[in-house]
Amino acid sequence: MKIVLVGYMGSGKSTIGKEISKIVGIPFYDLDEVIEKREQTSIKNIFETKGEIYFRKIEHEILNDFLEGNDDFILALGGGTPCYANNHVFLQNKDISSFYLKMSVEALVSRLKNEKEKRPIIANLSNDELDEFVRKHLFDRNYYYLQSKHIISTENKSVKEISDEIIATYSK
């Protein structure tokens, strides 16, 4: 079982991934945490000291290594991962079940308002700027997210409902 969760920051990839892991009994990984472990520093520090180009390069390498080196997993990608270095192509691999956790801009902004201090990229944005930022980002990234094999609308659904839907879709 290879499940990859795709979506914008705040869409619940890690929360859903952990729930699915509990239900099906296979390990959950967050790609950002895998990168931090391998690089022995935080994503924030990588961006600050080595820049985004370096980060996207190692993100691509580590993603490929992870996909080739693991058989059973649930993997949450960073919000930008599918959008760089042709990473979206692997979303169509026959042995990977990719799921886009789709949320409206309004729902994302509502969640992210409460998480700004944990997310350096949006920490200094006003709520109005956050809305515009999310709209633009989502517009730019939607093409890549939509390369996922399955699209799961998460609006007004519990973590359990979304997890059960992904498991049921995977099992078909």
| Residue of 117, 57, 66, 114 whose CA lies nearest to 84 | 57
Angle between helices 31-39 and 43-69 (to 10 degrees): 110
Residue 119 assigned as binding residue: yes
Does residue 73 contact residue 27 with C-beta atoms inside 8 Å? yes
Residue 14 assigned as binding residue: yes
Residue 11 assigned as binding residue: yes
Residue 141 assigned as binding residue: yes
User: What are the E-state strand segments in 7-127?
Assistant: 28-30, 73-76, 97-102
Residue 17 assigned as binding residue: no
For residue 119, the 8-state DSSP code is: -
Tokens of 137: 């980002």
Residue 171 assigned as binding residue: no
Element (H, E) at 153: strand 150-153
The one-letter code for the residue type at 5 is L
Residue 12 assigned as binding residue: yes
Residue 79 assigned as binding residue: yes
Element (H, E) at 6: strand 2-6
Residue 25 assigned as binding residue: no
Residue written as tokens 């990234």? Answer: 141
Numbered residues of the known binding site: 10-15, 32, 56, 79, 119, 141
Numbered residues of the known binding site for substrate: 32, 56, 79, 141
Numbered residues of the known binding site for Mg(2+): 14
Numbered residues of the known binding site for ATP: 10-15, 119
